Amino acid sequence: MTFTVAFFLCGYLLGSIPFGLILTRAAGGPDVRTIGSGNIGATNVLRTGRTGLAAATLICDALKGTLAVLVIARYASYEASLLAGFGAFIGHLFPVWLNFKGGKGVATYIGLLIGIYWPCAVIFCAIWLVVAVISRYSSLSALIASALTPLAFWLLAQPQAAAWFVLMTVLLWITHRINIRRLLNGSEGKIGAKSA
């Protein structure tokens, strides 16, 4: 039990690093929590007009998930690495340093896929791309890709990972509840569209 908590906490602390906030402040930009959606993720960082910072945020948010999985996998079991990965995802969504108000989790979700079973990361990105090209909605692309990810794990004989990703997908959908509402009423912004 002690080790179980430790694996989760290691992942959580790594996942809770708010790279979007850290990078924008280091670059002399505004506090991303005061602009746009108030989110600390790459999409909101992009609203500062700094595409480089947004890209760096995306990469760092993904890599903290990958690192949490790979570090624990090196010293413990596969099951422990899944728990650490879940911890990293929770840390990104609910960082203790920011009153538990974090990002929406897509980049970290992808980073976990890379660390746990990279073919599923490829599947996620392929689905995201196809839906994005057809619909031009980034949020819809992430929602559909995440919904199909547990099925991909199951079909590829990864039942434990499938179970964890069912839980993380539910949480990801919850963080996107405002986007879902906008998609349903037709007010969600499309990729490439200028914001009002």
As a whole number of angstroms, the distance between CA 17 and CA 180 comes to: 26
Q: Is residue 112 within 8 Å of residue 66, measured between CB atoms?
A: yes
Q: Is residue 68 within 8 Å of residue 115, measured between CB atoms?
A: yes
State pTM to two decimals: 0.93
Q: By C-alpha distance, which of 137, 161, 139, 141 is closest to 150?
A: 161
Domain boundaries in the chain? 2-185
CA–chain centroid gap for 138, Å, is 13
Per-residue pLDDT of the chain (196 residues; tens, 9 = 90+): 667 889 999 999 999 999 999 999 998 888 888 887 778 888 888 888 888 999 999 999 999 999 999 999 999 999 999 999 999 999 999 999 999 999 999 999 999 999 999 999 999 999 999 999 999 999 999 999 999 999 999 999 999 999 999 999 999 999 999 999 999 999 998 877 654 4
As a whole number of angstroms, the distance between CA 174 and CA 6 comes to: 26
First to last CA, the chain: 51
